[in-house]
Amino acid sequence: MNLPDPDKVAAIIRDVAATEIVPRFRSLSKADIREKGPGDLVTIADEAAERALTARLTDLLPGSLVVGEEACAADPAILSRITAGDDPVWIIDPVDGTANFANGRPIFAVLLALALGGRTVAGWIYDPVGERMVVAERGQGAWMGGQRLTALPGGPIPSLRGSLSTKFFPAEEKKRLEALRPHFASTYRLFCAAHEYLNLLTGQGQFACYNRIMPWDHAAGALAYAEAGGHVARWDGGDYQPGRTDGGILMAGDQETWGDLRRLLLPNLA
């Protein structure tokens, strides 16, 4: 099938961010923020942006389906749409980094991917504050501002800087991983997968490790980083697939560095 013009999709994302997200940044009342789970925030900006994106994207691509983070919070069965049939599926995270957004920190973004046959075929990452838009298509590279993006190469562990997100690991594993931070040149936790992917794509980071892999957090970024030349794989070495949420994913500038990282970070799998 013919995919929609990626620039038209990018324009929709920018417009929805400008109307539903940016005006609410640092203007939320307490009533505009709630918990959908322990420590898991949602705001009226998340909900309004997802509704607007859902309407406009399905209009742009008739017959397409949507898997949105907020819709899945209300009905987890929606997640199965990614692998259930042959219809194209939009995967939407309307405000990635909601806790940052709700607390007035400018580290949030819109994440959008398009999946076909259970594979991500296109992805968009939009940082409304920095006005940065990444567009990636399978086999066509990852681009920002007319420039093709290239992942930084890896290297020895002590020279690496990257994202080591331990939030969703079991307590003992989290403690073990935290103790490994001094092995690296630097590690960071931005509490926003989109900005961690932006770091990978703009030379600010060389690796990332996640054990909670909901598709709205990772489908767009994983495709973009792979298209930029990075090595992206599940912990077991298999291909990342947006319809699978078990296990975790590890990313590095090249396959050799990926293997070194897995031996250090995930010794029970290496």
Q: Is 240 left (phi over 0), alpha (psi -120 to 50) or beta?
A: beta
Please indicate, yes or no, whether the overall pTM of this predicted structure exceeds 0.75: yes
pLDDT at position 52 over 60: yes
Q: What is the pLDDT of residue 85?
A: 86
- Tell me the pLDDT band of 269, cut-offs 50, 70 and 90: confident
Write out pLDDT tens, residues 100-142: 999 999 999 999 999 999 999 999 999 999 999 999 999 999 9
d(CA 167, CA 211): 9
At residue 96, what is the residue type? D
pLDDT (average), residues 195-224: 97
Residue 27: other Cβ atoms inside 10 A: 10
Q: What is the pLDDT of residues 162-179, one digit of tens each?
A: 999 898 899 999 999 999
Average of pLDDT values for 201-216?
96
For residue 253, pLDDT over 60 is answered with: yes
Average pLDDT over residues 23-39: 94
pLDDT at residue 178 in the model: 95
HEC string for 110-129 = EEEEEEECCEEEEEEEEECC
User: Has residue 254 got a pLDDT over 80?
Assistant: yes
Share of the chain above pLDDT 90, in %: 94
**C-beta of residue 13 within 8 angstroms of C-beta of residue 112:** yes
pLDDT, tens digit (0-9, with 9 covering 90-100), for 53-90: 999 999 999 999 999 999 999 999 999 999 998 999 99
Give the residue among 210, 248, 257, 209 at the shortest CA–CA distance from 229: 257
pLDDT at position 241: 96
**Single-letter code of the amino acid located at 251:** M
* Buried b / exposed e along 214-228 (16+ C-beta atoms within 10 A): bbbbbbbbbbbbbbb
Average pLDDT of the chain to the nearest whole number: 96
Under the banding of pLDDT at 50, 70 and 90, the label for residue 1 is low
**Structure tokens belonging to residue 33:** 């923020």
- Residue 270 pLDDT: 56
Q: Is the pLDDT of residue 144 over 80?
A: yes
pLDDT of residue 3: 86
180 vs 182: CA distance, rounded Å? 6
